[in-house]
Structure 1
Amino acid sequence: MENFTAGIEKITGIIWGLPMMLLLLGGGIFLTIRLGFFQFRYFPHIMRQTFGKIFSKPDSSEGSLTPFQAATSALASTVGAANIIGVPVAIAFGGPGAIFWMWVVSLIGMAAKYSEVVLGVKYREKNEEGEWVGGPMYYIDKGLGWKPLAAFFAFALMIEVIASTMVQSNSLATTIQGAFNVHPAVTGGIVMVLIGVVVYGGITRIGKITEKFIPFMVGVYIIGSLAVVIANASMIPSVFAMIFEYAFTPISAAGGFAGAGVAAAIRWGLARGVYSNESGMGTAPIAHATAKIDHPAKQGFWGVFEVVVDTLIICTMTAIVILSSGAWTEVAPAQASNMVTVAWAEVFGDNIAGSFMSVALFMFVLSTVIVIIYYGEKQAEYLFGTAFSKFMRLVYIAAIFVGAIGGLQLIWQFLDILLALVIIPNVLALLFLNKEVKEITNDYFQRVYKKKHTVVEADYKKAQK
């Protein structure tokens, strides 16, 4: 069994090394160039259309969720434990300079996230129950005519959600047991009931929950982190100096930090940027396809919004907390996941910091599992119809309990391989459908954007007279 596990880990290491990095990063660079660097040229406009429209009514009745609900539903699967654990690991092995490269790849990844959301909306359709459904399986099938590849994507993601649900549930149950001495079976049972109540309400209930839950969850984490940053305010200038300096020069060992070269900073920064917001992974368009929107590009902007919130705000806040507090030199790389707790403990004390991180993990995992179960259901629906999707819902809910008590761990070993099998078809589809994304983008900026700005300019001139 050990040899089998070692073999799987070796295969996973190869796939998720240079090949996957080149695919995701290379795809993002190609789409950024193909779309004329739109995420930089029109960034203020994109922010006005997202942050500025959070409380606005939807443009169209064609959809199940508001644009913001669709975005928070997609964010629910990306904003989570990785924001608290992934960033410290990147700093532990790549140094402060890794954060610079995380920013770079996230800015590039906006093009991939935007593209898949645009295609998800363009190729969506109504299912047997009159709900809007979409995602990579639909644009691979209808946009490229590659039905076997679409089915392959759907099947791989449908199975991947089982493994992912188990891993998330086990991580949560283990943490709760350590912090509050609650048996994993109890945690698994409670989480199973809570999630079951939400997912049986369908995407409409999920949207209503996430639009309140995600802002609250993110807000509490940012406020707590700001308290740590303010307590270490004198260190902020040196933090940013380190991030930029060590992105291009090696850094020596300091305390528990073993030192890192430029190559390590690039590798770990790129990995954190690529994985933190799921750009190009194909999951976000499944949620965004349900949005009430009158132009695909408008919903695509919410994909950019997700990258800003997940990586440029939350991950950056985590990095500043760790670097300004000095936790990155106090904690050994093997315990990197504890860095945020150590940093918080300096301000709030060990008990409050430890309890908060346990509760935060509980909230993060809860939101993530709710949304990925919906993703899995939609794959089952695409392959075998709505009746089978309801059966898979039961399978996913049962997997929560099984994972919590540590069952079927053999399936967990295949998680990263299954995820790779999901990503490859999606990125290929984005590259082959780049012309359609370009046309939709041009249509928006030449027709909607220019018209709006022409009217505003005319009104301004009229007012001046």
Structure 2
Amino acid sequence: MEWVEAIVKFVNDFMWDFFLLVLLCGTGIYFTVRLRLVQVTKFAASFKAVFSKIKLRGGAAGKGGMSSFQSLATAVAAQIGTGNLAGAATAIVMGGPGAIFWMWISAFLGMATIFAEATLAQKYRHVSEDGTVTGGPVYYIRAKFTGRFGKVLAACFSIFLILALGFMGNMVQSNSISSAFATAFGANKWVVGALLALVCGFVFIGGVRRIASLTEKIVPFMALVYIAGCVVVLAINARALPGAFGQIFVGAFAPGAIAGGAVGVAVQKAIRYGVARGLFSNEAGMGSTPHAHALAKVEHPCDQGLMAMMGVFIDTFVVLTLTALVIISSGLAGGGLDGINLTQAAFSSVLGGAGEIFIAVCLLFFAFSTIVGWYFFGEQNIRYLFGQRGVKVYAALVLVFVFLGSLLKVQLVWSMADMFNGLMVIPNCIGLLAMSGMVAKLYRDYRQNPLAARAGATQH
């Protein structure tokens, strides 16, 4: 496996040391400016749109789509996963506490990016002859680039997404679940992987109806339980919180000034791992969550854009930040632990053995819901490339990768996920930037004459 690691490292170094940092942050800055700080000016509207529509028993989803909250819940199910628990730990180990600051920056800019993604996904969603609704970046890419270039770009995105999320990404999720259960309960990783694959298969068979029903119930519950657990730990560690924030801000610009795990970490590494893990967590710019937002039944495309922004905020500024503060305040970063094992150790430093169990159970819900969400995103692209005939083969392969992921070592799995995530970003951002005029037009109509805009959007 050494040659695989060498290839993956080479590609990641090339992409993440400069190119993707500029592309992701540049895209976020561009939409932030062009949409006039939409993540600030429409934050209250976004918050109200989300929390006024929470329903644990929404209408049944089907081929015609799902409710706006079900779409958001499916997107958030994919966003809030291993990246929030294990990813935060890996970012701190590899990039120092300052990586969290750069996660915040990338998430702030990403809120504008994901607004554009969700809005375009709604505008260009596809309705087949039998009434089945699908959507995602392939459709707004093809809408802008109608020739051979558009076909190739869309196909590249679909292939990268299937590999990044359906296969490699889901290996990360199962890897962290098996590792957490082995630490907390001494569980056999083979058994955990097999059981996880079995349950996932049951959900996959149920299609969009079962996926929407699952995510709208599990996402609010799992988020509240985990947030409550973090608040308890941080309340006990309250005296260490000022120092933890200090390490984040100092480490963002002068990581060498922090003792421990940040020694020898350059600012460039803090930025690299902050943005990379932030992307893996909130997925803004990747082009994954638009597949869920495209299915929402809303009056105007920008309605779902507002919902999507709050998904990034909850994922990074709430859940991921709480995890990072627990880890940094524990003082265990730099002690040789990494990934989910570091997160478990941080909680155990306060809660004892219950900390390991708490994280293992939370991770089971977080990562399982992410596997379901990512499977669904991949399935949309399988349909685009191969039609319905490819779905069963894809589902079987995902289950195999879920099982195999539970057995591999964590660093290689994370590195491969980073590589394919990065490859996804390129065609998606090309499509987003090329369609920025349409995003600006839709948003302008939405702000200036919302009733007329909604009336004109009913046939999008």
Cross-structure match for 2:457: none
1:281 and 2:290 matched: no
**Change in 2 beyond 3 A, CA 1:190/1:94:** closer
Cross-structure match for 1:306: 311
1:227 and 2:228 matched: no
CA contact (8 A) 1:72 1:211 kept: yes
**Change in 2 beyond 3 A, CA 1:295/1:216:** same
Cross-structure match for 2:346: 343
Cross-structure match for 2:458: none
In 1: Cα distance, 2:396 partner to 2:188 partner: 23
In 1: Cα distance, 2:160 partner to 2:280 partner: 18
Larger deviation, residues 197-206 vs 332-341: 332-341
1:5-46 CA-partner distances (Å, limit 9, x unpaired): 323322222222211111111111111111121211222222
Q: Which of the residues 389, 395, 398 maps onto 1:396?
A: 398
Deviation, structure 1 residue 175: 3.6
CA contact (8 A) 2:252 2:270 kept: yes
Cross-structure match for 1:104: 105
Cross-structure match for 1:455: none
In 2: Cα distance, 1:427 partner to 1:233 partner: 41
Deviation, structure 1 residue 122: 0.8
CA contact (8 A) 2:16 2:276 kept: no
Q: Which of the residues 204, 212, 225 maps onto 1:199?
A: 204
In 2: Cα distance, 1:183 partner to 1:24 partner: 39
The root-mean-square deviation of aligned C-alpha atoms, in Å, is 3.0
Cross-structure match for 2:28: 28
Cross-structure match for 2:41: 41
Give the TM-score normalised by the residue count of structure 1.
0.87
Larger deviation, residues 430-439 vs 128-137: 128-137
1:37 maps to amino acid: L
Cross-structure match for 2:369: 367
1:105 maps to amino acid: S
Cross-structure match for 1:216: 221
**Change in 2 beyond 3 A, CA 1:250/1:356:** closer
Runs of 5+ consecutive residues of structure 2 not aligned to the other structure: 455-460
**Change in 2 beyond 3 A, CA 1:89/1:396:** closer
Deviation, structure 1 residue 205: 1.4
Cross-structure match for 1:460: none
Identity %: 37
Deviation, structure 1 residue 334: 5.0
Runs of 5+ consecutive residues of structure 1 not aligned to the other structure: 453-465
1:408-462 CA-partner distances (Å, limit 9, x unpaired): x99997544433332210010000000000111111111128999xxxxxxxxxx
Q: Which of the residues 187, 191, 196 maps onto 2:192?
A: 187
Cross-structure match for 1:419: 421
**Change in 2 beyond 3 A, CA 1:6/1:436:** same
CA contact (8 A) 1:95 1:259 kept: no
Cross-structure match for 1:151: 155
Give the TM-score normalised by the residue count of structure 2.
0.87
Which secondary structure state, in structure 2, belongs to the residue aligned with residue 64 of structure 1? coil
Larger deviation, residues 423-432 vs 40-49: 40-49
2:100 maps to amino acid: I
1:263-284 CA-partner distances (Å, limit 9, x unpaired): 4444443333333201010100
Deviation, structure 1 residue 318: 1.3
**Change in 2 beyond 3 A, CA 1:154/1:435:** same
Cross-structure match for 2:16: 16
Deviation, structure 1 residue 71: 0.9
**Change in 2 beyond 3 A, CA 1:98/1:15:** closer
**Change in 2 beyond 3 A, CA 1:449/1:274:** farther
Cross-structure match for 1:461: none
1:139 and 2:140 matched: yes
In 2: Cα distance, 1:253 partner to 1:442 partner: 46
Cross-structure match for 2:126: 125
In 2: Cα distance, 1:203 partner to 1:185 partner: 29
In 1: Cα distance, 2:168 partner to 2:243 partner: 42
Cross-structure match for 2:328: 323
Instruction: Answer with 1 or 2: which has the greater Rg.
Output: 1
CA contact (8 A) 1:144 1:433 kept: no
CA contact (8 A) 1:12 1:416 kept: yes
Deviation, structure 1 residue 226: 0.5
In 1: Cα distance, 2:322 partner to 2:262 partner: 20
CA contact (8 A) 1:67 1:293 kept: yes
Cross-structure match for 1:5: 5
**Change in 2 beyond 3 A, CA 1:242/1:158:** closer
Deviation, structure 1 residue 262: 4.5
2:214 maps to amino acid: I
In 1: Cα distance, 2:245 partner to 2:404 partner: 44
1:348 maps to amino acid: L
**Change in 2 beyond 3 A, CA 1:122/1:406:** same
